Amino acid sequence: MEYYLIVAGDDNSFFKITRCRILLGIACVLVIVILVQFTRLALIPVSDFHENVTESERGSIVDRNGAPLAVQTIFYDIGYTPSKVKDLDSFAGNMAMALGIDEDSIRVNYESNKGKKFAYLKKRVDQGVYADVKAVTDEFGYNYVSFDKVPGRIYPNHSLAAHLIGYMGKEGKGMSGIEYSQQDILTSVVKEDFYEPAKNVYLTIDANLQYKLEQIAFETVAETQCQNMMMIAVDSSSGEILSYVSLPEADLNDYGSSTQEQQFDHLRMEAYEPGSVFKIFTVSILYDENRIKQNDSFLCDGMYEYRIPGGETIRIKCLEKHGWLTPRDAISLSCNDAIGQISDRIGEDEFIAKIRGLGFGQKTGIELSGETAAIVKDTSASSWSARSKPTIAIGQEITVSALQMVQAATALANGGVPVNLSVIRRITNKDGSVFYEHKPEYKDRVFKRDTAEYVLSCMETTSLRGNGTRANISDISIGTKTGTAQMADKEKGGYSDTDYLSSCIGIFPTENPEIILYVVIEKANGEVYGGRIAAPVIQKAANVIIDHLGMSRGSAPSLDHDGTITIPHGNSVTVGSIVPDFTGLNKRELSSLLERNDIIVNINGSGWVTSQNPEPGTTVTENMRIELYLE
């Protein structure tokens, strides 16, 4: 008899074991396939391009006329696999010649990276070097050399307007200037379902004019041996900056080798005490508020003195004893004493409010980052003292930026209405269509028109007979104001005995202002007076601007007359021992009346004489100045 043992589930177990064996076999086959594929891929040569950087489009930066200032290009980072170099001597020799480096540097590179799978030979080479290296790798079969494309910038004019244009870093990001502030405009936007192409930025500067003025600036730096210098030219009606000079400056094509001083933009980043140039704003404020009149006289005895209630006397020294001065004389001769007395006629809080109303103590809002607001201190500040108001009136105890100074000056040039500054003229799309066009942005009126005209005429007197004569242009009218300010001693405190800031501002033509030109020279060696070293720069630069822009010459009125005065107004009037009455005479009648050489006559305004200084009957003295006011 035979017995059979039947175990439940035996058939299922059989099928499970068979299935596992089949799956295991398939898995082994797949592993073998993967290993074969991996081995095959490992043996494939390294491709010519090893892309590490996502290439993106970047718009150009050009001047107002379309001349290129910053354009996109491609650089290459060249790398290799050291472990695959078989003949180091041959490799070093061939590659050194193509790369423009010595063989030893390649050998050192190889020894430092021996056995590694990747190392860089040289970064950021241009198209020419890339072509040479590619030819060598193709010729000698160096398939282990790779090329990484790196988007970059070429600056055709190297350091021209460097602080304004700015610099693009290795990662395709703007690091300063327009490259930084307009990063989003200059770069393309790429998303899953959206593409916004890069745009081109047209600056307000004229590259040719910029070059000419930079040459004048370089000459000035060499002559004065100054530490740094600023020069800015502005279209006074639009606020567009035509030239933007801050020295020293960096070569944008070799920015990594520049110093911190070369990278610092003094025009927008430096806050400094402006000195006597600020006096034009002090007189403007007081005259606009009817606190002073054209004929007011102030006695300068060489020292401004003011006794405060507590008994202390505030003293500010003047360079000379000027005698009796009108506000015009105070500007023309830059008298500290007279300006201090003028400031006595306005309250502290009101004076500071008016200064802030001109834009001081706040950023101008120009299309650049890193702008300083400078400092206009409050009357409640712990540093405020009884001498603060008259000291601020002459341009000390207040800090400004060069941009703030020229923006405030646009109020004088535009009949009392300032205009915002701008360095961007337009922005265009890739197809050339206009994305943005600059339009003048006028601010609220800060002065009456007659205030602006009066102060401009005072500035013209400064260029004709005052401290700004070296800025005078013979055939076109220009109003100027010079300044010389002791700079703060940051180590010892107080003011330095050796470091000065010398400056001059010019507005021309005075009868119909078009250009504001401002020059600042810091820490000059030797001569430091603004009227002697900054004013001549204004004259040189203004002449260049006038010729470059094709402005009409020969329009400067001749207001300085010497000699005997004969007035054909009814009966002939001759200036003898006393001053005659000029009331009712017009400018044409006055312009041909001088035959003596010991009298100076200033004709202010147009129309007919309504007032004069000194009064009729005053005894005539040698070199007497006679002011005639016409309406």
- Nearest alpha carbon to residue 230 among 280, 267, 268: 267
- Nearest alpha carbon to residue 234 among 67, 360, 402: 402
Taking the C-alpha atoms of residue 396 and residue 27, their distance in angstroms, rounded to an integer, is 87
**pLDDT reported for residue 605:** 66
**pLDDT reported for residue 204:** 98
- Nearest alpha carbon to residue 620 among 603, 598, 602, 604: 598
DSSP-derived secondary structure for 475-505: TS--EEEEEEEEEE-TTTSSEEEEEEEEEEE
**pLDDT reported for residue 528:** 95
Phi, psi of 235 (to 5 degrees): -75, 110
pLDDT tens, residue by residue, 299-349: 999 999 988 887 788 999 998 999 999 999 999 999 999 999 999 999 999
**pLDDT reported for residue 74:** 86
CA atoms within 13 A on the CB side of 593: 24
Q: H helices within 225-345, ranges in order?
A: 260-263, 266-269, 279-288, 327-332, 336-343
pLDDT tens, residue by residue, 123-149: 888 888 999 999 999 999 999 999 998
**pLDDT reported for residue 440:** 97
**pLDDT reported for residue 310:** 77
Strand 298-300 versus strand 323-325 pairing type: antiparallel
Phi, psi of 532 (to 5 degrees): -105, -30
Q: Measured between alpha carbons, how far is residue 28 from residues 14, 17, 38, 81, 630 in Å?
A: 22, 17, 15, 34, 109
Structure tokens given for 626: 């006679």
Structure tokens given for 94: 């061939």
**pLDDT reported for residue 311:** 76
State the average pLDDT for the chain: 87
For 17, the enclosing helix (H) or strand (E) is helix 10-42
DSSP-derived secondary structure for 445-463: --S-HHHHHHHHHHHHHHH
Residue 522 burial (CB count, 10 A) = 21
Count of residues making up the chain: 631
**pLDDT reported for residue 626:** 83
Residues of the chain with pLDDT under 70: 1-56, 555-576, 584-597, 605-610, 630-631
**pLDDT reported for residue 19:** 65
320-321-325-331 Cα dihedral, nearest 10 degrees: 10
**pLDDT reported for residue 120:** 94
